[in-house]
Amino acid sequence: MDLLQKIAPLFAGWNETLIWSVLQGHMGYAIADNEEVPTAAQLVLGDFCFLAGQPSVPFAAGAAAREIVLQDESWSDAIERAWGSLVQRKLRYAIKKEPDVFSRETLEGYIEALPKEYELRLFDRAICEQTVREDWSRDFCACFSGFDDFLARGFGVAALHNGRLVSGASSYCVYDGGVEIEIDTAPDERRRGLALACGARFILEALDRGLYPSWDAYDLRSVLLSEKLGYHVDHPYVIYIRR
């Protein structure tokens, strides 16, 4: 039995697509306190690590990503004792996974409302190369091993202005039957409906490919955007962000 099989029971019932992505072997990696008989483990993917099992300060001190997600509040004391003032506690918002909730007519309306000076295009290699030029867009392809891997297993929708990438929605990660949405806009191009149009086009593309477009909200602004697109909030949950 390999490590992923051994630690999978520790994460049972955790309805998080990044966890599924690692456990299903698509991307990311796992760390356990004991590889033979694990009692605690973390799954690491991109900027996130997910801690499960029996909390301990030494294991919490090894959190291997910037955003530390807890299985439950029993981990909070271990994280705070291990990291002290080097972590900040905040809330994220889980979004319900409802496969039949989207209105194609509504989503197409958001796309049609895109200001005429902008163009929507699926990611190609040239757009992928633009993603690493500015901080706001670096996460669009970051979890894949390279641009070729992203184009083979993921996809994205870009809003372009005079050829410049100014907003986008992409697959942050992939899992069996779905993708996790990464969506963002250049700071100087926000509040123009670009993220809404990109998100709508991404959702339609995912559905046309037979994939579920999963969403998890960083803050309440992300919740509001998700609700416009048809999602419903499930519950807030605690994370710690390393400074």
**pLDDT single digits (tens) 138-196:** 999 999 999 999 999 999 999 999 999 999 999 999 999 999 999 999 999 999 999 99
DSSP helix, strand, coil percent of the chain (3-state; round to 5): 35, 30, 30
Averaged pLDDT for residues 212-232: 97
Q: What is residue 103's predicted lDDT score, i.e. its pLDDT?
A: 98
Q: What pLDDT digit, counting tens, does each position of 37-92 carry? A: 999 999 999 999 999 999 999 999 999 999 999 999 999 999 999 999 999 999 99
Name 222's Cβ contacts closer than 8 Å, sequence gap at least 6.
Answer: 93, 183, 215
Identity at 158, one-letter amino acid code: A
Q: What is residue 153's predicted lDDT score, i.e. its pLDDT?
A: 98
Query: In which band, very low, low, confident or very high, does the pLDDT at 1 lie, cut at 50, 70 and 90?
Result: low
pTM of the entire structure? 0.95
CA distance 157 to 163: 14
DSSP H helices in 133-193: 147-153
Q: DSSP 3-state assignment of 91?
A: strand
Cα torsion through 68, 73, 74, 76, rounded to 10: 50
Q: What is residue 62's predicted lDDT score, i.e. its pLDDT?
A: 97
Q: What pLDDT digit, counting tens, does each position of 93-150 carry? A: 999 999 999 999 999 999 999 999 999 999 999 999 999 999 999 999 999 999 999 9
Q: What pLDDT digit, counting tens, does each position of 30-47 carry? A: 999 999 999 999 999 999
CB atoms near residue 145 (< 10 Å): 11
Half-sphere exposure of residue 15: CA atoms within 13 angstroms, side-chain side: 12
Q: What is residue 140's predicted lDDT score, i.e. its pLDDT?
A: 98
Structure tokens at 130: 């633009």
Q: DSSP 3-state assignment of 73?
A: helix
Identity at 232, one-letter amino acid code: H
Query: Residue 70: in which H helix or E strand, if any?
Result: strand 67-70
Q: What is residue 222's predicted lDDT score, i.e. its pLDDT?
A: 97
